[in-house]
Amino acid sequence: MEIPTEMQHQAMGYDRAATMFSPEGHLLQVEYAEKTVRLGSSSIGLVCKDGVLIIADRRIRDNLIAAESTNKIFEIDEHIVATSAGILSDARILIDASQILAQQNRVTYNSPIDLIMVIRMIADRKQFSTQYAGLRPYGVAIMLGGVSKGKTHLYTSDVTGNYYAYRANAVGEHDEQIKEVLRKDFKDEMTIEEGIKFVLKIFKEILGKNFNLNRFDVGYIKINNPKLIRKHGDALKKYLK
């Protein structure tokens, strides 16, 4: 009887080290980390004609938790917003490092940091953790948006250490389902206001009876005023009309 491939990998130990390739050319611990990201709550990012927008689902499972302690919109610098999907404690380490890098750039060069420098640092740290024994991959995807030199940017870094620029993207639970909607209905000429309505509509369709405005954190940065603006709770009610 032929032994299933997954059992063979476990028997041979290919899934025990992040640095060991399986015979098929896979880093199994990295692939397991990617599954962890897809278990995390969803976030959607859009590049709109007047700025960049990120909406994150906090997915609070326990009503004893104080809602303000579960924020998923992070300020890297006043012109850069970030969110994550996966293990939030892993995200915190990368966000902290990003904030330090942004402030070092301001102190050294007296100017705001370019987004590409931040996402590259995050991606480099993730790649490092896949190449050395004794480490495990970061189980988190980071989405970074912002305005730099009058242009909007949206980047996503996966667990492997790759990163790409996007017009629109989703990470976390239901990401493929959300991306199908984005490919079909997202328009480059959307404003931030239209983008919020669009994203909340997507979440409403996907979450069904579990949809609740209190689940969501909204963060956006406009081209003409590159500073992070947050919205949540009752401030989002007008976008469902």
- DSSP letter string over 95-109? HHHHHHHHHHHHHHH
Judged against a pLDDT cut of 80, whether residue 69 lies above it is answered with no
Per the domain annotation, does 182 fall within a domain? Answer: yes
Q: 13: alpha, beta or left, given left = phi > 0 and alpha = psi -120 to 50?
A: left
The per-residue pLDDT for 96 is 98
Per the domain annotation, does 110 fall within a domain? Answer: yes
Structure tokens belonging to residue 16: 């025990």
Per the domain annotation, does 193 fall within a domain? Answer: yes
Model confidence at 49, in pLDDT bands (50, 70, 90)?
A: very high
Model confidence at 19, in pLDDT bands (50, 70, 90)?
A: confident
Structure tokens belonging to residue 168: 């629109």
Query: What's the predicted TM-score (pTM) here?
Result: 0.91
Per the domain annotation, does 136 fall within a domain? Answer: yes
How many domains are there within the chain?
Answer: 1
Residue 50, domain CATH? 3.60.20.10
Per the domain annotation, does 4 fall within a domain? Answer: no
The domain in which residue 52 lies consists of 43-58+70-240
Torsion sign (Cα): 71, 104, 125, 55: positive
Per the domain annotation, does 87 fall within a domain? Answer: yes
Judged against a pLDDT cut of 90, whether residue 159 lies above it is answered with yes
Per the domain annotation, does 6 fall within a domain? Answer: no
Per the domain annotation, does 155 fall within a domain? Answer: yes
The beta strand positions in the chain, using DSSP E, are: 43-48, 51-57, 74-77, 80-86, 140-148, 151-157, 163-165, 168-171, 216-222, 225-232
The per-residue pLDDT for 126 is 97
